Structure 1
Amino acid sequence: MALQGNEHDHHPAGPDDLRSPCPVLNTLANHGLIARNGRDITATQLKSAIQYIGLGFDVATALVSRVFEVHADDPSHAPPGTSRAGLRDPNQVNKDGIPVLNLDQVGRPHALEHDVSITRQDRELGDCIHLDPDLYKQFIQASQDGRYRSSVLGSYRKTRYEEQKRINPHLQFGKFEHYVGCAEMAALRCVFGQGVSRGVPGEYVRAVFGDERLPYNEGWKPRRLKAFFPEMIPVLLLISHYAWPF
């Protein structure tokens, strides 16, 4: 995907636009890499956008294939092709009969949306979809030397777990949610990081989490060599090591 002209300039979400708990997905919508209104997004569109910002074909395919499955709280008692991590409703298609997804469905309960978010509140405590200003400020202050290395991202995830465990008596956060959260941080590290040792610049984090904007103005460019599973998995495991709360 090549960006041309003003088609993919950044425009914040309007009052009727749908958004998700994930700032990166919201960023893709704000740049028009997927539907700006957050509605009727096809798997092809989402996969293309994810690859554009730097994830490999294998990662993008695995992620999109999973979330485009029909959601079931208990897949063992649901029709074939459903999954807990799936986000779509049964028969959710566009006018051409192509399966589609709306961004707000990323926040549906008992799927991929989880407690112990970096910048969103737990569902039991408040708004799990939109940015929490206090959590955002806390995350910004967590960087070391203005950067977010894997150790920082993992340690901060552990800090967030400890905070939410104290204040949320109904906390739902097991190993599945742990690895989902660490995978999110690994994707952030791989897409916006500057090499093995330099981490993610703080100004990139502020652009993506604060403005839901790709940090072009701060010097970021999409990766020429994409991040495939052989790169992603070790980063995920390293972050998980620092974040492990159990």
Structure 2
Amino acid sequence: MEKHEYQAPGPNDSRSPCPALNSLANHGYLPRNGKNITANQLIEAINEGFNVSKFIAFILSHAGSYLIGKTREGELSLEDLFNDAIEHPVSLTRPDKDLSEDYRKISPELLDSLFSEKNENNKLTRKSFARQFIKRRDQSLRDNSKFHGLSFLQKYQVFGEYSLTLLCFPGSENGRGEEIDVDTLRSIYQFERFPDNWKKSESTIGLSQLHNLVGNIRDMVEDLDKNKPENMNKILK
């Protein structure tokens, strides 16, 4: 087997709520069993697997370890990230923890809802993710009595997840940060597997690039919210 060939996880392997990290384990950038992982291993895997800058990888790795109560030298298992300090409602792939006993499992219904936001070219754009965020947020507000909205930091985390998806996984350099093919995203989000013929970004994905895209998606969400029919009616009254 090649070093980074895909290998499905076994029944005793540990996996997280993050499809990208699970993909790194499934391809051997992280220990394939998903266990006893150090922050430095996370940094190297994120950098090597996706060409995300080591600075971003450092922030993600050490912040994640800190939030779940691991020391700087401590090791974690991917399943440790199913933690209220990191996990959040309004996931694109999994139901809210308070709404389903199967919240750790990928939901085909939620994926179909996301993919329905594709454009005529079978691509999901920045606006597709913004629209899906509003759909999921409103769904959680309606159905989850314990959910009253995301904090500023949680929104940044969520929009950061969308932004890294758009930066890391498009099949061509032209699409990075702009759009991603539905079939490509299904491979990552549903099967946690790098798509066939996929290549990581040729240029290192940096913090300013990520921050700008987060801000752009946030602005799109705010604009879409303002133009929702119920809000337009309030303005016209």
Partner of 1:65: 62
Of Structure 1 and Structure 2, the greater helix share is in 2
- Is residue 2:155 matched to residue 1:178? yes
Partner of 1:77: none
How far apart in 2 are the matches of 1:66 and 1:58? 12
Q: Deviations over 1:115-169 (max 9, x none)?
A: 0100101110113322012112222222112112211112211111011111111
Q: Deviations over 1:202-241 (max 9, x none)?
A: 12101101110011x1x32011211101111111111112
Partner of 1:79: none
2:47–2:57 contact (8 Å) kept in structure 1:
yes
Q: Deviations over 1:72-99 (max 9, x none)?
A: xxxxxxxxxxxxxx12446xx9xxxx42
Instruction: Call closer, same or farther: CA 1:214–1:88 in 2, change over 3 Å.
Output: farther
Give unpaired runs (5+ residues) of structure 2. Answer: 227-237
Which of 68, 71, 87 does residue 68 from structure 2 map onto? 87
- Is residue 2:152 matched to residue 1:152? no
- DSSP 3-state at the match of 1:148: strand
> How many equivalent residue pairs?
217
Paired AA for residue 188 in structure 1: T
Paired AA for residue 191 in structure 2: D
How far apart in 1 are the matches of 2:221 and 2:194? 26
- Once the two structures are superposed, the pairs formed by residues 1-246 of structure 1 within 5 Å of their partners are 6-52=2-48, 53-69=50-66, 86-89=67-70, 98-109=73-84, 111-126=85-100, 127-144=102-119, 145-172=121-148, 173-193=150-170, 194=172, 195=174, 198-215=178-195, 217=196, 219-244=197-222
2:126–2:178 contact (8 Å) kept in structure 1:
no
How far apart in 2 are the matches of 1:23 and 1:176? 20
1:107–1:113 contact (8 Å) kept in structure 2:
yes
CA RMSD of aligned residues (A): 2.0
Partner of 1:78: none
- What is the identity percentage for the equivalent residue pairs of Structure 1 and Structure 2? 25
2:166–2:179 contact (8 Å) kept in structure 1:
yes
Partner of 1:83: none
Give unpaired runs (5+ residues) of structure 1. Answer: 70-85
